[in-house]
Amino acid sequence: MKPTDEKASIAKRLKEMIEENGLDYLKENSFRVYSLLLAEKVASPLSARMILLTLLAQVHLKAKKLTDPKVLAQHIQKSCCLNKRMADFLASIYVEVFSAENQKKWEKMAGMGFDDFCRQEWKFAWNGESVWSCHGGSMDCSASASATIKVVDTQLLGKELKKILKKNPFIASNDIFDYYQLMLCDLLDTEFEEYCTFIDYYPPVVEDFKINYNHVSEGFFSKYGMKIIASDYSGELSDLMIDDRY
C-alpha cells in the first residue's frame, strides 16, 4: 500500500469510528482501534503501532485545535519521541480527520439520533421463559408481549441520556431504542422468573402475569419520558411433565 493510500485509508477509518461511537472512543479504546486497523488491513503493523502511540498520548485531542500540520507534527515529535518523517505522516492523518469540514459536520450530527428517536414511534418486544417445578414434575412457562411507545417528555429523556449523549453525541436512534429495550427485557425476565417460581405447590397462572407486565412496562417507560400507546400480551403453560424420581 502506498503511503498516500494508507494515510487516506487510516483517516477514513478513524473518522468512521468517531461518527459511530463518539470522540471518546479513540481515547477509551485505543488498543481496540489499533487491533481493528490491523485486522481490517487498513494500516501496516508499523503505522497501526504509531496510531496507538499517538492515541495513548492523546494527540487526537490536540488535533481538534492544531489545524496546521507542521505545528501538529512538532507536537507529535515532542510528545511521542518520533522522527520528523513519521511525525509528518501522522500529523497529516489527524489534520484530515479533524478538518474544519468534518468538525462542522459533527456539530450538525450531534443529537440527530436523539431527535429522531423522539420523533418516531417504537415497537418494543419481549419473550419470557421459565420453569415451574414441584415434587411431581415441572411445567414450562412462556410469555410474549409487545408495546408501541412514543416519547412524551423530551426533557426527562434527555436528562436520563445526558451521560450517553455526552460520550457519543452521534448515537443512532436505533441504538437508543436497543438500550431501553435491553433494560426493560432484563426487568421483565427477572419479574417473570420470580412470578413463575415463587410458589411450588400449585402452578402459576401465566395469563395473569399480564398485570405484572403492564405495571412494570408502564412504570419503566413513564420513568424515562415515554408512553405506551398500544400493548399486547399472551402467556402459556405446558402440561405437567412427570418426574419419575417422585
Give the chain's domains with CATH numbers. Answer: 3-109 (no CATH), 114-242 (3.30.479.30)
pLDDT at 243: 74
Assess contact for 7 and 92: CB atoms under 8 A. Answer: yes
Instruction: Give the pLDDT confidence of 130-184 residue by residue, as tens digits.
Output: 999 988 889 999 999 999 999 999 999 999 999 999 999 999 999 999 999 999 9
Instruction: Give the pLDDT confidence of 38-90 residue by residue, as tens digits.
Output: 999 999 999 999 999 999 999 999 999 988 999 999 999 999 999 999 999 99
Q: Please tell me what DSSP assigns to residue 239.
A: P
Q: pTM of this prediction? A: 0.85
Instruction: Give the pLDDT confidence of 79-119 residue by residue, as tens digits.
Output: 999 999 999 999 999 999 999 999 999 999 999 999 999 99
pLDDT at 67: 83
